[in-house]
Chain A
Amino acid sequence: MPSLPDMGTPDVMALARAAADAQPHPHDPHVADLALRPAFFDWLCRMGDNALILGHRLSEWCGHGPALEEDIALANTALDLIGHAQLWLGLAAEVEGQGRSADDLAFLRDTLKFRNVKLVELPNGDMAVTLVRQFLFDAWAFGMLKGLATSTSPRVAGIAAKALKEVSYHLERSSDLVVRLGDGTGESHARMQDALDRLWPYAGELFAADAVDEAVAAAGIAPALADLKPDWQRIVDEVLAEATLTRPEVRFDVHLGGKQGRHTEHLGYILAPMQFLQRAYPGASW
């Protein structure tokens, strides 16, 4: 049986939580809007869960990267994304108003309650799969966060402005590597094309709007997903062309449902180790 951590050390996480709670928030009419609450909460969980699950996936590379620099870069990207997840899920918990915290949402929800797209929960595969998945997501997140910077919700705009600085850097890195490996050796090119062919049918879920997306768009909180598509397409086409990769001819919106809680079998295998400690030792902290 694993032993509990030393409880005598300073509780820095509790201190950080207290500081975050003490944040003086700008007035945000949407946070207390009861009619909008279910959709706003769900949408914030989608933003948070995309960042959390992709961040967790990337963290699985820690200690396994093909080169030290790549290992470190993936871990740092994971760290940024988990930071974004804390911000989005923290606001989600506040909007929900049930006394839950970002940690509660991350560690105590079951698969059916997770709202991330299926793309981000797919296994890491080789570096090609990891990098193509990252690039397709980064290009979407970049446009989304840019749009959110002018959100009618000052809280959402504040988180987006912070996250955009980091995601811009992620996009620069993932698109550089897609070009480097796509236009690399025969082996790296073949692997990148194979990864693209496999992941492409998952990318469309990022743009598949449902009633939740429409409600937050109508409230001016988030851009309409369809409006993000032209810029995404342009970035993807530009980078793929430079990488000598071929955009698949098949539809890109085949694997849907993650945003509504219908996930692949892979999500449960992420949550099991991620949630183990809080499930086994409720409330444990260090």
Chain B
Amino acid sequence: MQAVPPSTAQVWDWLAEVPDPEIPVVSVTDLGIIRDVRWQDGTLVVAVTPTYSGCPATAVIDLAIEETLRARGIEHLRLERRLSPPWTTDWVTQAGREKLRAYGIAPPIDGTASDGGTAARAARLSGRSNLAVACPRCGSGATERVSQFGSTPCKASYRCTDCLEPFDYFKCH
């Protein structure tokens, strides 16, 4: 047991080194899924919110957080699952967005989450993207959606019609 427990600010710094298992260039703090870090009666409590309800990475993320903090000497640790308020891509940090783009994934465009509405269907069905998703490779805005889902629940598949590169778009959620 450490004589003086590390500050929560220190713990946040350590958590900033825990990579997302699916997109390892971003950390769990870049994604905004760490909702709270606090000491409670000598136990470190870390509140984590899931990105998507069924995201299989959730359990792996918990394990990575646990391993990282134990390696830093934290003995008494509790992870909390926090469902409300639900995670939104608005919580992805600016640094996280830049890392996504550099990695080849177009970052989410705020304010464009699906509302189940039908208003934009004509644009979607015409084959044109209804969102101004810029190609992360060449920066062109001439892109089209190939599929509403990509390799993980958080992404959609796009294609750049200028440089012809296919890429993932991190959906606004």
Contacts and interface: CB of A to CB of B under 8 A. Distances in A.
B59 A15 contact: yes
B140 to A, nearest CB: 22
Contacts of A165: 86, 88, 113-114, 173
15 contacts: A10-B63, A19-B48, A19-B79, A23-B82, A79-B153, A81-B54, A83-B55, A84-B53, A86-B53, A161-B84, A167-B116, A171-B114, A175-B118, A179-B121, A242-B121
A72 B154 CA distance: 12
Contact of A83 (B53, B60, B81, B118): B53
Contact of A22 (B80, B118, B148, B153): B80
B84 A72 contact: no
Interface string A58-73: 0000000000011011
A163 B62 contact: no
Interface in B112-162: 113-118, 121, 124-125, 146-153, 157
A13 B57 CA distance: 11
Interface in A135-184: 142, 154, 157-159, 161-163, 165-169, 171-173, 175-176, 179-180
Interface of A: 10, 12-13, 15-16, 18-20, 22-24, 26, 55, 69-70, 72-73, 76-84, 86-87, 142, 154, 157-159, 161-163, 165-169, 171-173, 175-176, 179-180, 235, 238-239, 242
Contact of A161 (B78, B85, B150): B85
Given A19-B79, A69-B146, 4 more contacts: A69-B147, A83-B53, A158-B86, A235-B118
A79 B80 contact: no
B146 A142 contact: no
B25 interface: no
Nearest to B124: A176
Given A175-B121, A176-B125, A142 B148 contact: no
B6 interface: no
B78 A22 contact: yes
Contact of A80 (B54, B78, B85): B54
B81 A166 contact: no
Contacts of A19: 48, 62, 79-81
A207 B88 CA distance: 31
B164 interface: no
Best-surrounded residue of A26, A80, A154 (most CB of chain B within 10 A)? A80
B114 A13 contact: no
A173 B157 CA distance: 13
A172 B114 contact: yes
B56 interface: yes
Given A173-B148, A176-B125, A80 B153 contact: yes
Interface in B4-34: none
B121 A163 contact: no
Interface in B38-73: 47-48, 50, 52-56, 58-60, 62-63, 66
Contacts of B59: 12-13, 15-16
Contacts of B151: 72
A205 B48 CA distance: 37
Contacts of B53: 80, 83-84, 86-87, 162-163, 166
B83 interface: yes
Contacts of A242: 118, 121
A65 B170 CA distance: 23
A168 B83 contact: no
Shortest Cβ-Cβ A-B pairs, 10 listed: A83-B54, A83-B53, A69-B147, A16-B59, A168-B116, A79-B54, A12-B59, A158-B84, A73-B149, A162-B86
